[in-house]
Amino acid sequence: MSETLAAPDGTMSAESATDPGQSPDHRSGAVADLRRVGINPNFWYPIAVSGSVRKKKTFAATFAGERIALYRGDSGTVYALEDRCAHRQIPLSMGIVEGEALRCCYHAWAYRGNGRISQIPYLPKDAARPPRGVRAYPVREAYGFVFIFPGDPQNADSAALPELPEFDSAKHKTMTFSRTVNCHYSFMHENLLDMNHQFLHRGVVGRIQPTLLGYDTSPDSVEARYLFTHAGGKKNRGADLLSAKSIGGAAAPDVITIRTGYPYQTLQLVPQNAELPAFSLWVAYVPEDAEQRTNHVYGLLMVEKPPVPGVINLAWPLIRRFTERVFAEDRTAVEAEQRAWDEQGEDWNHEVFPLIMDVRQVLRSNGVPLRPESPLCGAAALCGSSRSANTTPDTSLT
């Protein structure tokens, strides 16, 4: 990893010298618009809160335009199938869970958790049967979420889930977020990584002076460190509770470390001179539609408990209201950015922050091309990836 410091004169990196927010596509010579880059499917993505997938019930989810039926069998295991019956294309999420199988509500075709057809009740035993069923997705449950692997299933075992030791720590209390935001996922990465937007939150955190201490880059990550200094103005009580080493602790400056480690993002706040973070945030931005102009935000805020037992529970409503307000303000901004892109038909951004130039390149180089105009690219419109190779003979009907 290489250490990069923000230039004091505001000069831009080599990438920004070409076109702000964009970089040449060396295969075609054209400039790739980041907002037309799809998320790479070869990672584990949360697509539901575990509590939403109840036993013997179905749950309709989406990933980048792919409709997915989740269901929890009698054993408690969650399965994920392509949300269409191979017979008449009726959504399987409208179906009935029987044991570990899912039965279509229309003609009662039954499917195992691996997507294979287990029964067509009205078909004679000696009659020819469809050789294949529907696509099944690898599934894991962790951190209160249902994760699926939408890419090449052969890569699922080697792909790691995020490591979040604070989630299971008795020293932390965790807040879960699940919200839809109407923008391309890249706007979310930029918003959190660029802490120069604190003016947006002036009514909640007062006047914050963020100082970029430096950042590291690699082909699949950008990690930035800021010093946050409160320069005046009224500060929300919930902000105080999160920024202090303990509830009611010292008002020291905070060091915030934000990392985009593709495709996830994390944030840690450590009060100056403290050893452990006051809180840690993990977040994933999961595209919902095929054009990926809408994403679902799944997040975990893990807050260190103060020494006094039970105090964190009293403070929790204040912390929740603060975080919800900050998120609402951020959502207003990024959705406005998406509307501008939609109106202009391309990215007219004039970015000047080298850090954002770098994270855009990480997102662009790790993503996959979006071609929603081509129906042959599949429901998610992910071309140039392993998506088309994922449809094995056992998981699609011919």
The dihedral over CA atoms of 181, 185, 188, 194, expressed in degrees to the nearest 10, equals -160
- Residue predicted with more confidence, 124 or 286: 286
- pLDDT for 207 equals 77
- pLDDT for 57 equals 93
Gap between the Cα atoms of 125 and 129, Å rounded = 9
pLDDT-derived band at 25, boundaries 50, 70, 90 = very low
pLDDT-derived band at 245, boundaries 50, 70, 90 = very low
Q: Is the pLDDT assigned to residue 22 strictly greater than 80?
A: no
- pLDDT for 251 equals 56
Residues 205-215 have a mean pLDDT of 86
- pLDDT for 24 equals 46
pTM of the entire predicted model: 0.84
Answer whether 105's CB lies under 8 Å from 96's CB. yes
- pLDDT for 206 equals 74
Q: Is the pLDDT assigned to residue 372 strictly greater than 90?
A: no
Report the percent of the chain where pLDDT is more than 90: 62
Q: Is the pLDDT assigned to residue 82 strictly greater than 90?
A: yes
Q: Is the pLDDT assigned to residue 389 strictly greater than 90?
A: no
Sheet holding 139-142, edge to edge: 45-49, 145-148, 139-142
- pLDDT for 349 equals 86
Closest by CA to 341, choosing from 178, 185, 179, 180, is 185
- pLDDT for 300 equals 97
Residues 30-55 have a mean pLDDT of 93
- pLDDT for 233 equals 59
Q: Which residues are within 8 A (CB) of 131 and not within 5 positions of it... i.e. 6 or more apart?
A: 393, 398
- pLDDT for 238 equals 64
Per-residue pLDDT reduced to its tens digit, 329-348: 999 999 999 999 999 998 89
Gap between the Cα atoms of 141 and 139, Å rounded = 7
The tokens for 382 are 């992910």
- pLDDT for 185 equals 98
- pLDDT for 1 equals 38
Per-residue pLDDT reduced to its tens digit, 304-326: 888 888 889 998 999 999 999 99
Answer whether 241's CB lies under 8 Å from 315's CB. yes
- pLDDT for 308 equals 86
- pLDDT for 213 equals 94
Residue 18: strand, helix, or coil: coil
* Residue 56 identity (one-letter amino acid): K
Q: Is the pLDDT assigned to residue 395 strictly greater than 60?
A: no
Q: Facing residues of 102 across strands? A: 97, 111
Gap between the Cα atoms of 301 and 158, Å rounded = 27
- What phi and psi, each to the nearest 5 degrees, are found at residue 63? -140, 110
- pLDDT for 386 equals 38
Gap between the Cα atoms of 375 and 378, Å rounded = 6
pLDDT-derived band at 7, boundaries 50, 70, 90 = very low
Per-residue pLDDT reduced to its tens digit, 46-71: 999 999 999 999 999 999 999 999 99
- pLDDT for 156 equals 97
